[in-house]
Each structure stands twice: as C-alpha cells, then as structure tokens.
Chain A
C-alpha cells in the first residue's frame, strides 16, 4: 500500500492504495464516485473517461498512484454550480444523445475535451474524436447532433429528423 493524494472535483483527497489500484477503482470504490463506468478491459470503450489535469484520460488505464498531485475531474462535477445541466449535458438531453446512460459520462467528458480544443468541430471531426467512446444504444446520430448543438452550430440537413 502507498499513499496517494490528489484533487478530485476540487476537493483534496488522500488514501492508502495498492500499486495495482486503477484510477477508476479509486474513484468508484474509494471515493464512491460511481458515475465513471467500466465497460471493457482493453481500453477501448471510453465509459471511464475523466479529465486529469484538464486532459481526457481513460481512468481504467491509469493507476491511481500516477495521479499523485493531479487535478481530476469526473462527471459528477460537470453540472453548473446551481446543479443545472451544463451546456454539453443539456445538449445531450435536448437532442436525446443518450439512452441507457452507461457510456454517457465518458461521452460527456470526451465531448467537453473536444470542444475545449476545437470549439466548432465539423461532423467528421466529432466522429473521429469519439473513436475511443463506444455507444451501443444511440447509433451516435443524436450524440453528434448534441455536440454540434453544444458548440452552437446548426445541424446538417440530413440530421433534421
């Protein structure tokens, strides 16, 4: 066991963890932040995406000890201060960009990273960026629409429905 200290969603936390404790286990099991999900064991599905020092990271493919001193942000801290949905979250609801909700936290975290780097992404840029986030429910259609809407863009005519 070793001690790890980091800032999670703005709060300093410190715990004793094993070397093999993944960041996602630390978040889910130690901190009870269960919004970050685990959907695979080969680092592909992206249900576990969180932000570490402002960058999207797969929390299932990083050890908790490697986040020593880092600023970690999870889905639980994404809403506005008054608790209302933020722009990306609201767009996902408005455009029905989620169904079962399991991939959703990772999608929101990835979408947020994308818009930080690229505030007006094209449809293709969004599709490319989401390569590491698998959704089995939505067929991605409304996720793409939601992200375009969150960036303040009009949808292409094909997406009218």
Chain B
C-alpha cells in the first residue's frame, strides 16, 4: 500500500471527519434521541446494600400507583437464562473457573450496591420512580466481601452461596516456566520487588447507557436500540443465552454511541430486561441510565493488586519476572471479565524486553462490588504498569539510567517468541526511544528542573515503554484459550449501479472515525473519491455478523475484511471490464477509477462497469453472475503488536502535594497509518485517561461495600486544566507483517503507555526533593503525595 494518497482522500491523508458535521450541528442520533411511539419507561430499583438476602419484595402498594404498567422482580425471570460469560478460563490445575449465575433481576440475594432488585415499567419515568419508592423490600443485610485479600480468607462472607469460596480461578502462566523462573530469581545478582495496586476505574463514556426495545406483535420480531460497541455480539448473547430469541427475530441497533472505552462491549441486564418487557408489556420500553446509575451498574475496570519481582544478572540483563496478582471480578462475571487479567495481561508481561523466564500467577476473586471487565487497554495497562514501574525501581536501586537499562534489554530481533506464548512480528524499540528523546527534549530536562526549583517546585521526569497486543486472534487459538466467540470481522462491499458504494462493517464506531477512515482504504484501492463510499455499521439488520469494536481491532481486523471484500470486487469488476473491452482479464488494470487494457488506449470508467453489473445486457452471463457485492470474513493469523515510548514531566508542589503534568510526549509505532489526524486524536484521548488513572481517578468502596466515589462530585474526571498539550509522534512505522494493510491499532496505546511514566515522574520528583519514596499507588492525589512526603 502506498503511504501517500493519490486522491487526497485515500490512505495516509488527514481527511477531515465527515461524521463531525452532524455532531457539530446537534443532528447526531444517539440512543436516547430515539423514541418509539407508545413507549413506556422503566426504573430499576437497585440494592442499596452490598450483600443481602432477599426475604421478600412487596409490590402490592406500588402496583396500584398512577401510570404503572407492570412491576417485575427476579421471579419473573426464573427459568430464563442469566447473563452469559463469554470466556472460560482454565486454572493452573486444569480446572475450569467458577461461573456463578447472573440473573437479569436479583434472585435470592443482592450482591453489590446497584444490583437491580425490581423494575417498574410505567407511562412516565417519574411515575416509575414514584412506584419504585412504594415497593417494600425486605432485605437482610449480610457481611460483605469487599477487600480481595480478605475475601479469600476461609471465613470470608461468600458472594455466591453455591460456590465453595470466592476464588474464581487460580491461573498460572506459563505453568511450565515456573521452575526455571524460581531458579533464575534464586540465582539473580539483583532482584527488585514491588507491590502495587492498579486502581479501580469507571470508564465514564460521556453518554450514559440507554436501551429502547420494541416488539412487533405481527411477526414476533424484536428491535433493541442500545448503546453498544458490538450490536451483533449483543444479539447473539442476549438472543441465544438469555431470552431464547433466534437471531432472525432480533434486530439490535447501536446508532451513534457516545464513547465506549470497553464498558459498552458487555451485555447488560438492562438491555435484556427492556427486550423481555417489551413483549411482556406489549409496549416499547425505554431505559436511560443516569450518571449515578452508571457508577453502580456499568462494568468497572482494572482493580488489581500485584507483587512483581524482576531479576537481573550482574550486567543488569533481565533474567526473570515473577508476578502474583489478585484480580477483582466483582459480584458476577461480566461478559469478558475472566480474559482480562489472564490472556490480555499475562501474555504481555514480556513487554519490550528479552527476559528469558516469566511466570504470571493470577487469582481472580469475587467480591460484593460492581462487576469488573475490560476498560481501555484491558489487562495490557496492568501488565505495562507493573513492568515499567519495577524496571524504574530497579534502575534506581542499581543507580543506572532508566532509559539505558531499558535499551540494554530491548528485544531487537523479529519475529520474537516471548516466554509468555506470543510472537511479536515486528517492532523497532530503539527507534521509538530515539524519537521520544527527541520530541520530549529530554536533553533540556535539567534546565527545566532548575526553573521549577527556582519557583519552589519539584520536577520529575518519567519514561516508559509499552507493547500492546491488538486484534486478538485467530479464532481457533482463542477458542482453545477459552473464548466462547470468534474474533474475526466481516465486511460487505456493496457497489451500486451508479458506482457509489456502501460498506457494511461489523466494526462499530463510537468516536473512532470509521465513517471517514474506512472509506479512505476502499477509495485508495479503487482509485475513486472517498465521498462515493459510505460506511454502514451498528445495525444487525444491515450487515453480516460482526464482532464489533474493542481491543484496538477495528482497522487491523475489520479493515482487513474490508480489503478482502474490496479485492473480490476488483476481481469481478475486472472480469466485467475485460468483457466490455473484449480483452483478456489478465491485461486489465484499475487505476484512478479507470479500467484499462495494458499496452492499449482502451478504457472503461468505474461507473460503466458498475452499471453493466446491474444492467447486464452486454455481460459475460455464462461466466459470472450479475451484481457487484462481495462479503469477506477475515480471521487474523496473529495479534498485532503496536509499541512505543512515552515520557512525562511533572511539577510537584511540595507544600500541597499537588502534581501537575507539564509535558507529555508519546512516540508510537502503529505500523502503517490510514488517517494521521485520527490516530493522533486517539493517542491524545488515551493519554488523558492514563493521566486520569495516575493522578485523579479512583473508584473506592468502604468496608461495607458502599461506593464512595459514586458521582463526579467524588470521582475525579480529567478536565481541560488537568492536562497539557501532548507531543505525539507516529513516524516510526514497522508495518504489521500479517495483515493486508500493515496496520497495528492505536485506540488503547495512550491509556496503556501513560500511567507508568506519570508515576515514574512523580517518584523522580519526590526523590529529587530528598523524599525517600520508592513507590506510590495511583492515583497520586495531592493528599497521598503529601502523606508520602511526611514519611
């Protein structure tokens, strides 16, 4: 693929986003903007205790309240499937994980604050809420399992009575490595040990979740409008496993979606409820989450407690890494929760370094908290954070330069098979580090530190590298690893008679700009203007089965499917062109939207061929069918491995403990790039979320399982004055070797690569001020930093 676009709208062009026009004029179509005639509204009555036995639910008074259509409780869902888990992890003893039921509405017990106990459907939302207040709940509060370590104690309260304990699984990876790792650590010249917490986060896309469901009594078809990153997956999970609705009777639409960041991947109770209730009530049913509800019902992210040991030989070469992690699952297994601390985390523990021996142990724990699942990066930020923190700590302990220590241990030969079961295809880690040193002006740091010190501030510099694995695949491999889904992607390229094109993709855009970037690829391949191409997504009725958008997979997997389908289009179009020009198919060339016969001046235009496909009067009907529409399903042969090097400079106010990010620089290798403007935007957003995790955001429960950070009053979202301008570069490009576009994925990199450099910078600042602080858990809030300085 050429890097520069021939047409100005093709690959490599920073084409402005076409979707912006509707968003900027108030013409977006988000799920809450959709109203179905005659709709009723549902309000969920949610548990206000973390753990309790439901002794009774008296709805009699509420039933007679004005506007009430029907009140549902867990009893209405007996015999109906619970919310399924899409990944089954097998533990280090060969046992499958514990997999408790997850009812749509609580049955028998409530297991976290926010667990839905009853649902009131009424003519208006206010009436639903009024009636919900009249429901008399008899819930016997039980001691809650909140802290993970305590939850694993033998006498801990059990989240699920039918399980032997709160341990979901005890995973070892790679189990065969363990002996060698233990031996290497025993024989090491130096071992750095770090215990840390990867703080629980709430994804907080700005659009809260919404579901609107309708049931058509004439043909028994359901339509669910929902805020989803993957409507086909919701159709499969909800249809097949929860409600027993066959796919051909269920349409799931995810229109404009206001951000996802992982938390809109999962199938949620509210979607299933609205769909179920629409038929039960014979009325469309709508639910719009408030932000307060979102905090206690959207799946949370991260929440790991980890001990990591890094062993080095006398020359400071890494010889072994051993980790032990407790990973919070929350009260139920969310859709992909078990995969996050295992396959998305353990496989990344080699990072950018040639460490020969690695062993990862993860114990997943049930607690009386909101379920935890993938949030931007999902497992990979957790791996990167612990690795890049322990390397920094080792450099300090050994008195060596942290960048030099990293460079010394970089993987430099590709492909590279790690000790944690993955094979990196390409990368150039010294090059991204070189680029980082340049764009971050690391040479100028000492002078900037002096300026800060003159103002009474401490200044710190933190650096880290990261590696990501995107586009998880191939399906047959992930099936062996426990995935209950395929991880291919689909595309249908529908060329219309006049030459315009609709591309139906299984990927979903909720901010990523697919509607702009995807046509750039097809335009480049066909040599036509991108404005002739529209992307269709987010509707199971309009495209083939697709797996959706998460894990930075859309371009690497979905884009590849689009390339394959477009190649089929080109092949067929050449046959038609050959017929029209009475030439041999092998001599046909397609360039700038014109089909030519090599070595002649014969040509037919794109539109002539497309018209012939649908008006096949002069057409090779004996050889090929009319029409010009092709579908491809692409199943990658490997993950892609974006990588990069990040640097953060902070100023720290020693009187208040407040840390401000003064400079942030990111040098990434994403392979080939379709739209550099969009790629930079993705990195910016990821960095802000990483800075948020490192300095601001913290989801906290008290010992009784009450959520303390339950709104923006207490959960600190990064705001415009919390972050600086970022210096972002993606000129280091080692194209992926196994997908047709050579692309790697960029969506999560910023969130993966930034937290360690922020904390490394905070530690550097503290130590520069003479404070002997070796580690500080995120978020490095003013109060925590100040407390650390007090010793």
Contact = CB atoms under 8 A, between A and B. Distances in A.
| A touches B in complex, CB < 8 A | yes
Interface of A: 20, 28, 33-42, 44-45, 47, 74-76, 78-79, 85, 89, 92-94, 96, 98-105, 108, 123-124, 126-128, 130-131, 133-144, 156, 158-159, 161
Among A37, A94, A139, A142, the most chain B Cβ lie within 10 Å of the Cβ of A139
B477 interface: no
Nearest to A128: B721
Contacts of A94: 16
A104 B685 CA distance: 15
A101 B28 contact: yes
B206 A135 contact: yes
B713 A144 contact: no
B712 A44 contact: yes
B26 A105 contact: yes
B479 interface: no
A124 B725 CA distance: 11
Interface stretch (B85-93, B192-200, B252-260, B347-355): B252-260
Given A98-B24, A141-B726, A37 B258 contact: yes
Nearest to A90: B24
Contacts of A140: 684, 688, 718-720, 723
B520 interface: no
B33 A137 contact: no
A75 B511 contact: no
Contacts of A35: 25-28
Nearest to B513: A99
Contacts of B718: 139-140
A33 B713 contact: no
Interface string B196-217: 0000000011111000000000
A123 B680 CA distance: 19
A40 to B, nearest CB: 4
A37 B663 CA distance: 32
Contacts of B292: 41-42
A100 B291 contact: no
B23 A104 contact: yes
Contacts of B23: 98, 101, 104-105
A83 to B, nearest CB: 8
12 contacts: A33-B26, A37-B258, A103-B258, A123-B725, A133-B720, A136-B259, A136-B261, A137-B259, A140-B684, A141-B723, A142-B684, A158-B725
B207 A99 contact: no
A126 B685 contact: no
B774 interface: no
A87 B455 CA distance: 39
A36 B723 CA distance: 26
A contact patch SS: loop
A98 B20 contact: yes
Nearest to B291: A40
A124 B724 CA distance: 10
Contacts of B27: 35, 76
Interface string B203-247: 011111000000000000000000000000000000000000000
A47 B204 CA distance: 13
B689 interface: yes
B304 interface: no
B404 interface: no
Interface residues of B, number: 60
B30 interface: yes
A92 B17 CA distance: 10
Contacts of A39: 206-208, 258, 291
A101 B20 contact: yes
A85 B21 contact: yes
A127 to B, nearest CB: 4
Contacts of A93: 16-17, 20-21, 24
A102 B30 contact: yes
Given A42-B711, A100-B207, 7 more contacts: A39-B208, A41-B291, A89-B25, A93-B24, A103-B258, A141-B684, A161-B728
Among A100, A127, A142, A156, the most chain B Cβ lie within 10 Å of the Cβ of A100
Contacts of A134: 206, 712, 717, 719
Contacts of A37: 30, 32, 206-207, 258
Contacts of A96: 16-17, 677-678, 680-681
B256 A101 contact: yes
A30 to B, nearest CB: 12
Contacts of A136: 204-206, 259, 261, 685, 689, 717
Contacts of A102: 28, 30, 205-207, 258-259
Nearest to B376: A136
Nearest to A104: B23
A16 to B, nearest CB: 14
B688 A101 contact: no
Nearest to A34: B33
Interface in B251-300: 256-259, 261, 290-292
A93 B15 CA distance: 10
Contacts of B28: 34-35, 101-102
A99 B712 contact: no
Interface string B320-334: 000000000000000
Nearest to A142: B681
A142 B684 CA distance: 8
Contact of A137 (B26, B290, B511): B511
A101 B290 contact: no
A156 B663 CA distance: 13
Interface string B163-182: 00000000000000000000
B703 interface: no
A44 B257 contact: no
Contacts of B713: 42, 44
Contacts of B256: 100-101
B580 interface: no
B729 interface: yes
A41 B129 CA distance: 16
A101 B720 contact: no
B535 interface: no
Nearest to A40: B291
Contacts of B685: 99, 136-139
A131 B205 contact: no
Interface string B680-695: 1100111111000000
Contact of A103 (B206, B687, B725): B206
A161 B679 CA distance: 11
A37 B28 CA distance: 10
Contacts of A159: 725
Contacts of B720: 126-128, 130-131, 133, 135, 140, 143-144
B570 interface: no
B188 interface: no
